[in-house]
A and B are shown apart, each in its own frame.
Chain A
């Protein structure tokens, strides 16, 4: 049953995406670690965690692309799930510091000693164990999404109203995490990590593995999303996106479908956050900023809503541009670039990069084989309003 489910997800274009991601997972770290600096193929050390970060953004964009592009749920608060996953990982990394902290306390992280706390808060219990922390990476965002979605979808909150409350959710978390007595490091967040699973987080080898893990996680969730979209479940959520009440009248309980993809999407965002934190070395409440969540939506729109590769490509392209524009003389203008990018894409490429390219390729193919009379044998999901 499960094997069949995955087989459905692995079609020709999926194999290409997986192959590229797995090749990248192996080749980039290898080119960094084993090629001499003089080699033209050598990847500089700063590039590995940078591109690794892009890959976790790609996974985050994929999670938003799944719900927005295929189920019509526009989340403007997905950064919250990403940040929660990141915090869960950050808490594990904090507990690994042990006596190497500034204050040298064997159990309490530095900020707790600084705040004169005597005991480890309950929320932090168990985070010294990697498997438990990884469980929380998925469980905490998943549970929040489940509870949030349970109420929102049952009350039939849709469209812009849902987007607004997702934004409120991430803003509320932002305010909470900013407070010192909330217990997660307040304004400064969690940083100064030393080790992950006993390996130095800064070591090139560890970074290589984290990079590979990010690429593999992206490939893994890509296959899951692909399998879902190719199943009848996928057809139902597309139906929900296009004509929600019609779907109800056919007998599908729409809220359960929305809740399922929404929760899955939040878990994906959590995993992305967990892979992000050790590569950038810090997690702070800034990640809950509503502006971050809006930026994710821009990545998806730029890459192509209603496709799965689109959001990944969008995240990579926009973040590469961000790196390019924020380092150097153009730095003050990045936000203008981002804004014009979004406007430009909305006006000139409403289907995003991948949707537009896919349309061109499809047209060419149709011209080449005039025998294919059907306007589209392979339905291109249209963007929901």
Chain B
């Protein structure tokens, strides 16, 4: 492990993953600094979602190193313990607990003890209620707190999921296509929300929508065939001939 890994919040070095001979990730290296916000773009099949799977413990890498906060080796941990470390994830398709209310969804995600018995005896405290209220206000679902999550619109589900992420109080948020299926107005609002969040936390956003990435105005990493193709400002990567080739075809 080198110096870089010790200071970075998230450090991936030479990470490879194969599924039945298909290399989803090919010696991928990526460094996220504390407090950084990063946008990750790339064509379909570039390995964006697999990268998130590897970081959150859903998929084990075949080779390579993954460290969190300098010292924690994520390869040895399962999803639950990685989540408890402070890595939160929002899925591409919004996954909320549909048969429970908006309020309960946030409550479930709220940072706290996660063992069965602690949860069984737990009583909601005033502090927790205040936290939930605060998050409901941030994601603008206060009015719908008693709605079943199933009855929310697609965009509202995306927001609820972001709210659940916030409730977890993670150090690092992995956000997969937050603007998918949103109206232009919602997309712009989501960008503002994420920028607000990025003031206190590190955020990695995977996105297809270029307007959205431009709204975020952060460093961009372009993935292609499981490794980093280009990195820099959006203007820099858009000018990169290799990126143009990947996106527009030969």
Given contacts A232-B107, A235-B100, A238-B100, contact A253 B121 (CB under 8 A): no
Given contacts A4-B123, A375-B148, contact A239 B97 (CB under 8 A): yes
Tell me the bound Cα distance from A4 to B121 in angstroms. Answer: 8
Q: Is the CB of A250 within 8 A of B122?
A: no
Q: Is the CB of B99 within 8 A of A248?
A: no
Q: Is the CB of A380 within 8 A of B99?
A: yes
Q: Is the CB of B97 within 8 A of A248?
A: no
Tell me the bound Cα distance from A252 to B119 in angstroms. Answer: 10
Q: Is the CB of A235 within 8 A of B104?
A: yes
Tell me the bound Cα distance from A245 to B104 in angstroms. Answer: 17
Give the interface segment out of A101-109, A129-137, A254-262, A283-291: A254-262
Q: Closest CB of chain A to B102's CB: distance in Å?
A: 10
Given contacts A232-B108, A251-B83, A375-B151, contact A243 B97 (CB under 8 A): yes
Q: Is the CB of B147 within 8 A of A238?
A: no
Give 1 or 0 for each of A131-146: 1 = CB within 8 Å of chain B CB. 0000000000000000
What count of chain A residues pass the 8 Å CB interface test? Answer: 34
Tell me the bound Cα distance from A250 to B96 in angstroms. Answer: 11
* Contact among A231, A242, A374 for B119, CB-based, below 8 A: A231
Q: Closest CB of chain A to B36's CB: distance in Å?
A: 21
Contacts of B150 in A (CB 8 A): 382
Contacts of A5 in B (CB 8 A): 120-121
Contacts of B97 in A (CB 8 A): 238-239, 242-243, 246
Tell me the bound Cα distance from A249 to B174 in angstroms. Answer: 11
Given contacts A379-B104, A382-B98, contact A1 B146 (CB under 8 A): no
The residue on A at minimum CB distance from B111 is A251
Q: Is the CB of B168 within 8 A of A251?
A: yes
Restricting to B84-133, which residues have a CB under 8 Å from any CB of A? 84, 88-89, 91, 95-101, 104, 107-109, 114-116, 119-124
- Assess whether A126 is interfacial by the CB under 8 Å rule: no
- Assess whether B58 is interfacial by the CB under 8 Å rule: yes
Restricting to A89-148, which residues have a CB under 8 Å from any CB of B? none
Q: Closest CB of chain B to A132's CB: distance in Å?
A: 27
Q: Is the CB of B122 within 8 A of A231?
A: yes
Tell me the bound Cα distance from A19 to B164 in angstroms. Answer: 40
Contacts of A248 in B (CB 8 A): 78-80, 83
Q: Is the CB of B80 within 8 A of A254?
A: yes
- Assess whether A228 is interfacial by the CB under 8 Å rule: yes
The residue on B at minimum CB distance from A246 is B95
* Contact among B80, B81, B122, B147 for A375, CB-based, below 8 A: B147
Most buried by A among B101, B108, B123: B108
* Contact among B58, B121, B151 for A245, CB-based, below 8 A: B58
- Assess whether B187 is interfacial by the CB under 8 Å rule: no
Q: Is the CB of B99 within 8 A of A381?
A: yes
Tell me the bound Cα distance from A377 to B114 in angstroms. Answer: 26
- Assess whether B56 is interfacial by the CB under 8 Å rule: yes
Q: Is the CB of B100 within 8 A of A239?
A: yes
* Contact among A245, A375, A376 for B79, CB-based, below 8 A: A245
Contacts of A382 in B (CB 8 A): 98-99, 150
The residue on B at minimum CB distance from A377 is B146
Given contacts A242-B98, A252-B80, contact A232 B122 (CB under 8 A): yes
Tell me the bound Cα distance from A249 to B96 in angstroms. Answer: 12
Tell me the bound Cα distance from A248 to B78 in angstroms. Answer: 9
Give 1 or 0 for each of A305-340: 1 = CB within 8 Å of chain B CB. 000000000000000000000000000000000000
Q: Is the CB of A233 within 8 A of B83?
A: no
Given contacts A5-B121, A232-B119, A257-B116, contact A379 B101 (CB under 8 A): yes
Tell me the bound Cα distance from A375 to B150 in angstroms. Answer: 10
Chain A to chain B contacts (Cβ below 8 Å), 20 pairs: A4-B121, A239-B100, A242-B98, A246-B91, A246-B95, A246-B97, A249-B83, A250-B168, A252-B114, A252-B119, A253-B78, A253-B80, A253-B81, A260-B116, A374-B144, A374-B147, A376-B146, A379-B99, A379-B101, A379-B148
- With contacts A231-B119, A243-B98, A379-B100 known, what are 6 further pairs, Cβ within 8 A? A228-B120, A232-B124, A233-B119, A236-B116, A238-B100, A250-B83
Interface residues of B (CB under 8 A from A): 56, 58, 78-81, 83-84, 88-89, 91, 95-101, 104, 107-109, 114-116, 119-124, 144, 146-148, 150-151, 164, 168
